[in-house]
Amino acid sequence: MAHATPSNPENHPLAPAALREHDAACYVGRSRSYLKKSRLFGTGPAFVRVQRSITYRVADLDAWLARHVIGTRERA
């Protein structure tokens, strides 16, 4: 079963609170394998595991992205 890629979930009136791995990878601009490896090493976004199902809360993805923002320097 294919999942639709969210174009901008936070602007949708019925935005999901959590995304499956594929959609989460699209949301943060990374691959599914990156998310899998980052779970293993504990370096990626927080995730929720219910039995064998992995989901990512949108709020956790946003927080993880915010922690990786690098400011630009103003040029004189």
With contact defined as beta carbons under 8 Å apart, do 64 and 45 qualify?
yes
Cα separation values, 24 from 2, 71, 74, Å: 14, 24, 32
Q: Is the model's pTM score more than 0.75?
A: no
Tokens of 25: 């990878």
High-pLDDT (> 90) share of the chain, %:
63
Per residue in 21-34, pLDDT (tens digit) is: 999 999 999 999 99
Per residue in 54-74, pLDDT (tens digit) is: 999 999 999 999 999 998 766
Cα separation values, 7 from 11, 15, 29, 44, 71, Å: 9, 11, 12, 21, 25
* pLDDT of residue 75 exceeding 80: no
